[in-house]
A and B are shown apart, each in its own frame.
Chain A
Amino acid sequence: MDLALRSLPFLWGGLLVTLHVSLLVVTFSLAAGVLLGVGIAYGPRWLYWPIRFYSDFFRGVPLLVLIFFVYYGLPAARINLTSFAAAVLALSAFKTAHVIEIVRGAIQSIPRGQTDAGKAIGLTFRQRFQYVVAPQAVRRFLPPWINAVVDTVKGSALVSLVGIVDLMLAIQQVIGRTYVPMPMYVLGALMYFAINYSLSLTSRRLEARFAYIRE
């Protein structure tokens, strides 16, 4: 117990790194994923196929392989990134592919009749998207997207493998010095859980807020 307490500041530092990585990845993947997701849902062929390929490729490659590729592979092409930048880049590229699919799915799940009704009253394409499709798509986007965010936090533990002292590596280093694995792993698991559970709670509150009927 005493040990756990004394290691807390160190673990706290690791936790902040985990949150930092996650926040960056979530932000980048959200921005890029929404843009490309709208592109794949509405775009012309020349836009569709590159995005399709990107999404299928990055969802098909193990995340760890991506991280190693960016970290060890890019320097061969004279692109030298810090381990932090490399990890964030790899995770973002990976997550973007998932966000693309969530956005595409959310948009395409809106019934055709909604677009027809928008056309019939004379809304332009942009207006139909802004006032009819997007507000409904956001509601369908949120639940799977929050799942993706939770996944990002968990997946960010892999950055410890390129030497970034995130929560995962901090835990392992404490164990390395103290030789008491179980309490440390339990403590670490609780910290991951605390982050992700509060995310889930936020998600539920958001869904309620965006429900069609507000009571």
Chain B
Amino acid sequence: MSDPSAPVPVVRIRGLRKSFGANRVLDAIDLDVARGEVVVVIGPSGSGKTTLLRCINLLEPYDDGSVQVDGVEVGFRAGADGTRRRRGERELTGIRADIGMVFQLFNLFPHLTARENVMLGLRKVRGLPEAEARGRADQWLTRVGLSDKLDSYPSQLSGGQQQRVGIARAVAMDPKVLLLDEITSALDPELVGEVLTVVQELARDGMTMVVVTHEMTFARDVGSRIVFMDGGRIQVEGTPRDVLAATTHERLRAFLARIELRHHETR
């Protein structure tokens, strides 16, 4: 851990650009995430928010610009002659281990129990001994309310339970930042609450997070800052109150209206 009083952000993104073929998905993104901050990214589908998240741990390589996590450039390393080279697989794995990610479709390992899902990274990446990894896995699974499901396979768990295993698997690695990619979008409405409660507790404990979500209530209550993306650019950025209430921005207002409408329809 570096000095918390130092103003170095945990995530620092500058001029980030990414295209899929001719389609520019991210266009000159600048974003800082300070320690303990919860940055909520909202925007219509196709606006680039998931891609932005996936660039932070380099599940997607980016074309141009810079992504730094805790001061380390994620996608590139400086070559001897000052040019940038893409990092090799081996260097990347070390960086990724410090960046937690929770997925929309959980992506639990179906052949492993809840406990083994959490233990895999602790054993193979962190190199913890069996007993210690098991202890930490059980501790986190208990914290997300699954102390009675330690030996269950993902197929024996509800969506909400699976996603809580997903969260435990990510936070057990003790990441510097946690990336949440629409983690409640695939859940039945009545299961959304149990997952968001867990995230809320993590936020209260000071976990740094970048959250892509359509849950506006969550964004308002938990977010330190809201970022509205559209067309691969950050259009509006500010405190939840500013972004959600005083909207003079045309596209943001249209987006919020659509979300609001959908929200009422599901009620």
Which residues of chain A have a CB within 8 Å of any CB of chain B? 111, 113-114, 116-117, 119-125, 127, 131-132, 135-136, 139, 212-213
Contact = CB atoms under 8 A, between A and B. Distances in A.
A122 B93 contact: yes
A116 B169 CA distance: 13
Interface of B: 57, 59, 89-90, 93-94, 96-101, 103, 105, 107-111, 120-121, 124-125, 153, 155-156, 169-170, 173
Contact of B105 (A113, A132, A135, A136): A113
Nearest to B99: A120
A116 B53 CA distance: 13
Most buried by B among A125, A136, A139, A212: A212
Nearest to A139: B111
Contact of A131 (B89, B124, B173): B124
A114 B120 CA distance: 13
A120 B93 contact: no
Most B Cβ at <10 Å: residue of A116, A117, A132, A212: A117
A122 B121 contact: yes
Nearest to B120: A131
Nearest to A210: B111
B110 A121 contact: no
Contact of A124 (B90, B99, B109): B90
Contact of B96 (A113, A122, A139, A213): A122
Contact of B124 (A111, A116, A123, A213): A123
A151 B155 CA distance: 33
B173 A116 contact: no
A127 B170 CA distance: 17
Shortest beta-carbon contacts, A-B, top 4: A122-B97, A121-B121, A117-B107, A113-B107
